[in-house]
Amino acid sequence: MADFPVRLRHHDAAQHREELARAINMADYALEVSKGNVTGTAGVNKFGRGVVTSGNTFEIWDGNAAYVYPATALMTKISQTADQAGMQDETVEIQGLDANYAAVTQTAILGPSASSTATVITLGTPLIRCFRMKVLADVVTTSPIRVHNDAEDQDYAIISTGNNQTLMAVYTVPAGKTAYLTNYWAHHNPATGQDPTSNPIIFWARDKANSYEAQVKHVVGLPNGAGFVHPFNPYPSFTEKTDLFITASPVGKTADVSAGFDLFIVDD
Rg (C-alpha) for the chain, rounded Å, is: 20
Return the pLDDT at 194: 86
pLDDT exceeds cutoff 80 at 46: yes
Within this chain, do residues 5 and 138 fall inside the same structural domain, yes or no? no
**15 φ/ψ angles, rounded to the nearest 5 degrees:** -65, -40
In a domain, 70, yes or no: no
Average confidence (pLDDT) over 219-225: 83
pLDDT at 6 (0 to 100): 45
What pLDDT, on a 0 to 100 scale, did the predictor assign at position 104? 98
132 CB-near residues (< 8 Å, 6+ apart): 93, 94, 95, 96, 157, 165, 166, 168
One domain, residues 118 and 136: yes
Per-residue confidence (pLDDT) for residue 4, from 0 to 100 = 44
Q: Are both 92 and 19 inside the same structural domain?
A: no
How many domains does the chain fold into?
3
189 in a domain, yes or no? yes
The model carries a pTM of 0.89
Of 113, 131, 159, the one marking the end of a domain is 159
How big is the chain, counted in residues? 268
The answer to the question of residue 68 being in a domain is no
What is the extent of the structural domain holding 29?
1-39
Task: State the pLDDT confidence band at 19, using cuts at 50, 70 and 90.
Answer: low
What percent of the chain has a predicted confidence (pLDDT) above 90? 81
